[in-house]
Amino acid sequence: MTLAVLLATGLGSCDFSQTAPDDTLPSFSPQTPSVAPPVAAKPTSAATQAQGTTVPVRTATPPSAPHQLTTGGCCVRPFWGPDSASVYFLDRPPGDPLGIYRVDLEGSPPALVERGAAAFSQDMNWMAIQAGGAIAIVDRVSGDRWMVPSQGRMVRFSPDADWVTWQVQSSNVANLDRRRWSLWLGAPNSRDITSPLGGFGGGFIGWGPSESALLFTGRREIDGPVGLWRSSIDGDHVEMLIQAEGIRGSLVSPGGGWVALTVAFSGDQSLDGLWLVSTTGGQAFKLPQFGAYRWRREGQLLVIPLENGRTPIRLVQVDARDGRIAELTLADGAIPAISDNTWDVSPDGRWLVYQSGTDGNLWLLRLPGGTESP
Amino acid sequence: MSDRRPGQSRLNLGLLLACIGLWSFASSPDALGGRAPSAGQGEDPPAIRQQDAPFQLPFGLPPGPSSWLLIQPYGNTVFAYRQRTSMYASGQGLHFGLDLAARCGTPVEAIGDGTVVEVDSAAHGAGPHNLMINHPNGFASFYGHLLERPTLRPGQVVQAGQQVALSGDPDGTCTSRPHLHLEIRDAPSHRHAYNPIPLINADWNRIALAGGTPLSFEQTLEAPQTWQSLYDQPDVTFGGHLLNAYDSAWPPER
């Protein structure tokens, strides 16, 4: 079984192809460059094309069938609570108020947890709500609230909720390559705000490890190179992580150490596909699979390959740290259809919630290959 | 909040289909939407129930990062909502077609047999070039943001799968947002647009399985589950009132 992994750095590309017996997992050991790459990692057509096949991952428990969490075609945009024990969504059931509702993993009747619509920090101790034409931050523990000077623009919490960010961009420029944006950030309970960086096209995508860096895509200068970038929080130190046209779908890992992204329609088919890029330097490789993707844990990505509808939905797990690629064993027809690419993995990596493409309800699947706990 | 409901809007399309004897609307995948009683996991997926959809995909290759990808569905998308009074005002505030990203110069194929009726019509927008084909089943297909003026002439007969154009970029750069804008309208008036998803024979939920985030539709806080899926979107009457003039909505407008 061959797994060729592309590692594109300024030092050149390395081929980690190796042969493994069929009953073992393929793996590779990315070599750490002895010196920092002199230029940004850039995918090149000369780089090795990944051609990995996958093997079933060994599971401590047999594959389980999904079970239904909601009824009546409910609901869209589910998200996980921080304890991985509840799934939340916005709803207004007949006769009940609008709000954020919660169901537990056994599919309990939805329970109202907050009236109105809101976006939450990962620990759910903070939420952002609409207040007139503005956005307010609410401390859900104390009840204190602050108005954010974002002029009504929605904010995002940093992973540890130490910061809120929002983006301002020119609205009168159709050409996305020339649309200017600026990032604003401040502490959630402060009016002290700053705009450390901006660019053209793309935009802010998330935080590096320990909230020590800002990650963004696009161009720094209107006619400059385009790619994925890392910046210090004050914006003084900016470096390109990968240079590529056609970046989309950037998704930062839970710990900020990796970005999964799609390169599409670049003109070089060897570059088009799903990439994993380290945010701490040097490593960027293209996966043999392309499709829908979510982070399961830090450095561990789940991919649903984009395949013909006549084939069952598959789940492939990629470990960015050691290169293992494994197909997770699912019960036959475990996931008949997913609606609108709506699926998400619990923070502990053990559960997958998805909206069924057949009935619109939320269903829960226990993921194989995870750390089993009582 | 609009007084039009998904059921009402679907009725228009259902009547049209019934009139031309193509489809039993009762089996439409659109019935998935709203708060219908739970159908259970054993129900046929949309791909199977769509087998009688009258049209085929406009690209010959399967979706992928080098061929084409669905980037904006039809309907009450977040993007359209934010431009409901400008770019999409004429379409009742909705995105009245499908946006399929593709590299400039990708061959575009007719989605069904028909007759070319308009080339580069200024009335329909979606520049720099566009094409309208009327089909004998009462629908028309519209192809926008084409790379160059199609060589076809009004009156020319085309077959399903025949190359009719090359995809382009509305900004003319081929790097900004290259994509095909595909609409399905009524023929011959072209005054109504329909959700192409249930009309094109493809497993759209599988096609949507690309990228790191779900498709996103704007939610009215009066009824947050309204028009929230690929398959459940209302018909559009060009020039009609906004369907998404919501008093309050999520996500926030900016």
Write down the pLDDT at residue A98: 97
Q: Tell me how far apart the alpha carbons of residues B134 and A327 are, in angstroms, rounded to a whole number.
A: 46
Write down the pLDDT at residue B199: 98
pLDDT tens for each residue of A239-253: 999 999 889 999 999
Q: Which of B37, B69, B171 sits opposite A264 (nearest CB)?
A: B69
Encoded tokens for A239:
């470096």
B52, amino acid identity: D
Place of tokens 């959809």: B53
Q: In what order do the strands lie in the sheet with A238-243?
A: A156-157, A164-169, A180-186, A193-207, A213-219, A226-232, A238-243
Write down the pLDDT at residue B40: 32
A220 close to A199: Cβ distance less than 8 angstroms: yes
Q: Tell me how far apart the alpha carbons of residues B160 and B57 are, in angstroms, rounded to a whole number.
A: 9
Q: Tell me how far apart the alpha carbons of residues B223 and A93 are, in angstroms, rounded to a whole number.
A: 8
**Chain B residues in contact with A94 (beta carbon < 8 A):** 35
Q: Which of A175, A263, A363 sits opposite B176 (nearest CB)?
A: A175
Write down the pLDDT at residue A370: 47
Q: Tell me how far apart the alpha carbons of residues B5 and B234 are, in angstroms, rounded to a whole number.
A: 8
Write down the pLDDT at residue A198: 96
Burial pattern B77-101, b for ≥16 Cβ within 10 A else e, equals bbbbbbebeeebeebbbbbbbbbbb
Write down the pLDDT at residue B254: 75
CA distance A301 to chain B (A): 11
Please say if the pLDDT value at position A39 is more than 70: no
Q: Which of A174, A306, A360 sits opposite B210 (nearest CB)?
A: A306
pLDDT tens for each residue of A256-276: 999 999 999 999 999 999 999
Confidence of residue A61 (pLDDT cuts 50, 70, 90): low
pLDDT tens for each residue of A277-326: 999 987 899 999 999 999 999 999 999 999 977 788 999 999 998 889 99
Average pLDDT of the residues in A72-98: 96
Give the strand pairing for A325-328 and A55-56. Answer: parallel
**Chain B residues in contact with A251 (beta carbon < 8 A):** 212-213
Give the side-chain half-sphere CA count within 13 A for A367: 30
Distance of CA A205 to the CA centre of its chain: 9
8-state DSSP, A339: E
**Chain A residues in contact with B63 (beta carbon < 8 A):** 306
**Strands (DSSP E) along A35-163, which ranges?**
55-56, 67-68, 79-80, 86-91, 99-104, 111-115, 119-120, 126-131, 134-139, 145-148, 156-157
Q: Tell me how far apart the alpha carbons of residues A43 and A12 are, in angstroms, rounded to a whole number.
A: 10
Write down the pLDDT at residue A18: 25
Q: Which of A90, A154, A290 sits opposite B64 (nearest CB)?
A: A290
Confidence of residue A7 (pLDDT cuts 50, 70, 90): very low
Q: Which of A153, A336, A363 sits opposite B45 (nearest CB)?
A: A336
Write down the pLDDT at residue A369: 75
CA-based nearest residue in chain B for residue A75? B225
Write down the pLDDT at residue B118: 97
**Chain B residues in contact with A343 (beta carbon < 8 A):** 214
Exposed / middle / buried, residue A302 (Cβ in 10 Å: 0-12, 13-18, 19+) = buried
Mutate to test the interface with A, among B38, B200, B215, B221 (most CBs of A within 10 A): B38
Encoded tokens for B150:
């199609």
3-state secondary structure of B30: helix
* φ, ψ (nearest 5 deg) of residue A157: -85, 145
Write down the pLDDT at residue A307: 92
Q: Tell me how far apart the alpha carbons of residues A195 and A168 are, in angstroms, rounded to a whole number.
A: 10
Cα distances from A167 to residues A69, A162, A232, A263, B251, in angstroms, run 35, 17, 17, 23, 15
pLDDT tens for each residue of A109-163: 999 999 999 999 999 999 999 998 899 999 999 999 999 999 999 999 999 999 9
Confidence of residue A54 (pLDDT cuts 50, 70, 90): very low
Q: Quote ipTM for the complex.
A: 0.84
CA-based nearest residue in chain B for residue A99? B221
Residue count (chain B): 254
Interchain contact, A90 vs B34, CB within 8 Å: no
Q: Which of B34, B215, B252 sits opposite A73 (nearest CB)?
A: B34
Query: How many contacts, defined by CB atoms under 8 Å, are there between A and B?
Result: 194
Tell me the pLDDT of chain B (254 aa) as tens digits. 333 222 333 334 443 443 333 332 222 222 222 232 232 333 333 343 455 899 999 999 999 999 999 999 999 999 999 999 999 999 999 999 999 999 999 999 999 999 999 999 999 999 999 999 999 999 999 999 999 999 999 999 999 999 999 999 999 899 889 999 999 999 999 999 999 999 999 999 999 999 999 999 999 999 999 999 999 999 999 999 999 999 999 999 87
Please say if the pLDDT value at position A30 is more than 90: no
**Chain A residues in contact with B46 (beta carbon < 8 A):** 337, 357-358
**Chain A residues in contact with B170 (beta carbon < 8 A):** 174
Write down the pLDDT at residue B77: 97
Mutate to test the interface with B, among A76, A263, A269 (most CBs of B within 10 A): A76
B110 close to B150: Cβ distance less than 8 angstroms: no
Place of tokens 């379409």: B91
Average pLDDT, chain A: 83
**Strands (DSSP E) along A160-267, which ranges?**
164-169, 180-186, 193-207, 213-219, 226-232, 238-243, 247-252, 258-263
Write down the pLDDT at residue A177: 85
Interchain contact, B211 vs A273, CB within 8 Å: no
CA distance A10 to chain B (A): 25
Cα distances from A164 to residues A193, A234, A253, B14, B34, in angstroms, run 9, 14, 18, 47, 34
Interchain contact, A151 vs B254, CB within 8 Å: yes
Strand partners, A41: A242
Angle at A242 (CA atoms; ends A241, A243), nearest 5 degrees:
135
